[in-house]
Every structure is written in C-alpha cells, then in structure tokens.
Structure 1
Amino acid sequence: MEYPALVPGLLRRRYKRFLADVELADGSLVVAHCPNTGSMRAVNVPGCRVWLSPSDNPKRKLDWTWELIELPQPDGTAALASVQTGRANAIVEEALRNGVVEELHGYTELRREVKVAGGRLDFRLDRANAPSAFVEVKQVTLKESDGHGYFPDAVSERGRRHLESLAALADQGLRAVLLFCVAHTGIPDVAPAAHLDSAYAHTLRAVAECGVEVLAYGCQVECVNGIPQAIRLARHLPVSLTRQANIARTID
C-alpha cells in the first residue's frame, strides 16, 4: 500500500483520543487527526518522530493525519509503527490478492465486510470446490518491555465477539482465520495480552482448539531517502497462545 507524500514532525501529545499535537520541522505546531481509538499503549510516545499525511479536502476539519511513529529499540535502531488502524485492512487485502499470505493463497474471490451471525468479519475468500474462508484482521502495535508483541492493547469485548463468530463458522466446517497484521517493524512474534485482557486470551485459546486458525504477518515499511513510501505485509511471524508477558507491574 502506497503512502501519499508524508511530512515528518515530533509528537508533542495525543489527547481527546482523536487529536495529536505535532511540531513540524519549521517549529510550527499543528493538530493532526489520530485515527486510532485504542489505548495506543507503547506507541503514544511524546518526543518521538512521527509522519503525517496532508489533506487538501476543504470538508475536513484537520489538514493532517498521523500515520507512523518511529520508536527507539534496545539495539539503538528505530522501528516504525503504524498508528493508522484504518489502513490494516487495505494492507491485508493487497497481500491476499498478491498471494503473500501463504496459508490463504489460491482463492479467486474476495469480499469485504461480510455479514455473519453475531456481526461482520473483514473478508470472505472463495474458490471452486473448497470451503469459504472467513478472515478477521487485527492490527498489532503493542511491543512490551519483554521484547514481544501482544494483542489487544486494552480490554476488547468487540474483539472477543469476533473470536466467537469465527468459532461458529469453524463449527460449520468453514475456514475461520484470525490474522494479526503486525504493523510495528520491531515486533518479532505475537501472543494474546492476558495481562491486559484475560477474557480475550482465554477465548482465543479456546477457539483455536475448536479449529480457528491464528496467523500473524509482519509489515515492512519501504523508505526512500529516509521517507516512508509504502507499507506492506511481508513476513510470517510466530504466534504463541500460552506465553505470558514478562514485564514489571505498574500501579495506576
């Protein structure tokens, strides 16, 4: 998925869920739309470099959208993480159509936002003489201090309901797939965040035992002269359904 021309800045603060103050290179302060309603745990880091996409749409209230953040890693490098949750499905759809997700290669039809019992799922894939495959996409950007990736980054009742919908489809003999789109280039693997949402972790383990396939693929951000140009699903990542986060407890 190609980006529009991105502009760098420094994150000053995120507030009211949908707003972020960003300082541009000329010292001016702009308010950018934050297209992420989640907690943004570990990717809301003031002082880090961020990348904004501009808009010339006169109907928009804000001229900027926060797309990416650069996060320092323990080895001295920087990882790029997408905070634009709305792009995850487009990234995955491109990968499905290009055969990047090996486990879902060979389907000839793709439908978006399909109705199922209990709600909607992101994709339905079909091909001749094979059961349909239903795919729910979840974007992962939470990298905890133990170096591993986790989902969700806060309690997600909606996410748990999606798991139940997938399990119902698996019971009918259909393929049901949870696909973690890991939109953080520093995350090496994924596990359920039992330390943040124990109910989700328990449900994920249960539906996996009932036939729901759990996959994770990592994103690659393509840059030219240090400027992000595109983001694509690029590599298979391992999933552990039993790993517990090994992080220091904090008191809120």
Structure 2
Amino acid sequence: MVSDQLADRLAERTAMARYRMWRRIGWIALALAVTAGLVWVTFFSPLLALDPEQVHVSGQGTTVDVEQVREAVTDEAGVPLPRIDTVGLREEILEMNAVKNVAITRAWPDGLTVRLTSREPVAAVPQSGDVYALMDAEGVRVGTVEDVPDHLPSIVVSLTDDEAGRRAMNAALEVLGALPRKLAGGIQTVSAATQDDVRTTLSDGRVIRWGSEAQVELKIKVAQTLLRAEPSATTIDVSSPALPVTR
C-alpha cells in the first residue's frame, strides 16, 4: 500500500515536471515566434518600407538641386526604414553642390524628413571665359552664371599672387556674409586690394571702407549709423570702428 502511494506520487511529480518543461518550451517557442515576427515586420516587411510620396525635403534655398536630393533619397524606396543607412545617405547628400548641412530623420511608418542647410551666394566673382562664380560667405563655389544676378554684388580682387588674392577674397566674403540683408542688397561691387582693404560700393555710389574682416559686427553697426546720420557723405571709413571717418 505504501509503495503504491509512493509510486503514485512519483508519477504525479514526473508528470508535473514534464508539464512544466513543455509549458516552458511552449513559452520559449512563442517568444521566439513573436520575436521573429517583429524582426520580419521591422526589417523585411513592406509595412515600414519607404514610400517616395512620404519623402519631405526642406531648406534647399536658392542653390541646392532639390530633385537631385530627392532622387538620392528615393533610391531607398521599398527599403524598411530601420534598414536605411541615414548616415551614408547624409554623406552622399553633403557631397552635392551647395549643400552646407543636412539632417535626416525617419518619419514613421514609411517616410523620411530631409532638412537641408544650403550655401547661399553672397557675391559673384569674375572668371575666365566671361562667366561669374557664385561664392558663399565661406568661399565655397555654389554655381556659375554668365551675368551677375541683380541681387548680388561682384567682387574684384586686384592682386595676382594666388595666396594673397585668396586672403583678400576670403576677407571680402566674410564681410559680405556678415552684412544684414538690407545693407547687402544695396551693394553693387566689392573690391579687396588686400585682405586689409575691403571696400563696398553701394548702388547710389557711396563707398564703405571696411579694412579687414576683424570686428566686422561692430563695423556694421557704425556704418549703419553713419549712413543714416550723414547721407551726403560719399565715403564712410570704418576700418577703425572706434575712429570712423566720413567725407
């Protein structure tokens, strides 16, 4: 009798252990199936695939070829968003002309948002072949045109020495890049005999002598004040902003 009870208990415990083992196996199998399903949905399913209609590009300004950017992004059409190499895509876009910076974010479930920072030209520089290079404030060429655009000044750098001419050009571009839109819009030509002799000629003929690009923010404030205070002055010299000169 006792031996029968012990055998029953042993069988019961064995059955319970077997049940627990199979239940554990079942839960593990279910977890693996769910995980596999999630992986498939996330990385391989068309549910999260990039839809070209959901690609939004902004910030192209006046210089970036937005269709070129869009084409690069939509080459990833059909690829699930988690698998898209946004770092590599960003590097590809940064190599395009006139793109200064770009941020790419996933717009779930099937889109991408591309925010561009464009390089905007601040001046046109005469080139051989009767064309003009459009330059941004950092001296990067963003385009070539046959005629100077109405809203941009042309730059003349008189030095023939390459290094000195480059320094003069950079100084002129830095001054132009710092100017507020209203003042920059009134400039017709820019000259820089040296990096310390940047001059701008306004459309009304008045000349502003900036000197170098140093203290340009202060020089701009002084020049704006003198333009208002002495409208009859033909030359405003703010190369030494603490001691400006007009004549």
Q: TM-score under structure 1 normalisation?
A: 0.25
* Higher RCO (CA-CA < 8 Å; seq separation 6+): 1
Instruction: Determine which structure has the larger strand proportion and give its number.
Output: 1
| Higher Cα Rg, which structure | 2
Q: TM-score under structure 2 normalisation?
A: 0.25
Instruction: Determine which structure has the larger helix proportion and give its number.
Output: 2
